Amino acid sequence: MPKYKDLTGQRFGKLTVKSLTQKRDKAGCTIWHCKCDCGNFIDVSSNKLKRGNTRSCGCLKDDNSKQYRQSMIGKHFGKLTIVEFAGKNTVRSCYWNCRCDCGNYKVVLTEDLRSGRISDCGHVAKEKRSEWLARNHKAFFNKRYGKTLVEKTDLANISQTKPNSRNKSGVRGVTYDKSRKKWKATLKLRGEDLLNKRFDSKLEAVKARKQAEEEYFKPILEKYKYQKSSDVGRN
**Tens digit of pLDDT for each residue in 120-132?**
999 888 888 878 7
Exposed, middle or buried, 185 (CB in 10 Å: 0-12/13-18/19+)? buried
- For residue 142, the model assigns a pLDDT of 54
- Domain assignment present for 97: yes
What domain range is 157 assigned to?
A: 149-232
Domain boundary among 144, 174, 209: 144
Mark whether 228 and 171 lie in a shared domain. Answer: yes
Mark whether 45 and 63 lie in a shared domain. Answer: no
pLDDT averaged over the chain? Answer: 84
- Domains contained in the chain, number: 3
**Tens digit of pLDDT for each residue in 94-123?**
889 999 999 999 999 888 898 888 999 998
SS3 182: strand
> Facing residues of 175 across strands?
184
Q: Which of 82, 88, 80 is nearest to 59 (CA)?
A: 88
In whole angstroms, how far apart are CA 168 and each of 162, 185, 187, 208, 210? 11, 13, 17, 18, 17
Contact (Cβ atoms closer than 8 angstroms) between residue 109 and residue 38: no
Mark whether 66 and 38 lie in a shared domain. Answer: no
- Helix or strand run (H / E) with residue 47: helix 46-51
- pLDDT reading at 233 higher than 50: no
Cβ-based neighbour number of residue 110 at 10 Å: 24
Domain boundary among 105, 122, 144: 144
Mark whether 91 and 121 lie in a shared domain. Answer: yes
Mark whether 105 and 172 lie in a shared domain. Answer: no
Beta strand spans in the chain (E)? 11-12, 15-24, 30-36, 41-45, 76-77, 80-88, 94-100, 105-109, 149-150, 153-154, 160-162, 174-177, 182-189, 192-199, 229-232
Mark whether 92 and 125 lie in a shared domain. Answer: yes
Angle subtended at Cα 130 by Cα 126 and Cα 135, rounded to the nearest 5 degrees: 150
Separation of alpha carbons 190 and 153, rounded Å: 6
Separation of alpha carbons 159 and 166, rounded Å: 19
- Domain assignment present for 3: no
Separation of alpha carbons 115 and 164, rounded Å: 53
Separation of alpha carbons 202 and 184, rounded Å: 8
**Tens digit of pLDDT for each residue in 51-70?**
888 888 877 665 556 677 88
Mark whether 155 and 227 lie in a shared domain. Answer: yes
- Domain assignment present for 133: yes
Residues contacting residue 56 through CB under 8 Å, at least 6 positions apart: 13, 14, 15, 36, 37, 38
**Tens digit of pLDDT for each residue in 139-177?**
555 555 555 677 778 888 888 888 888 888 899 999 999
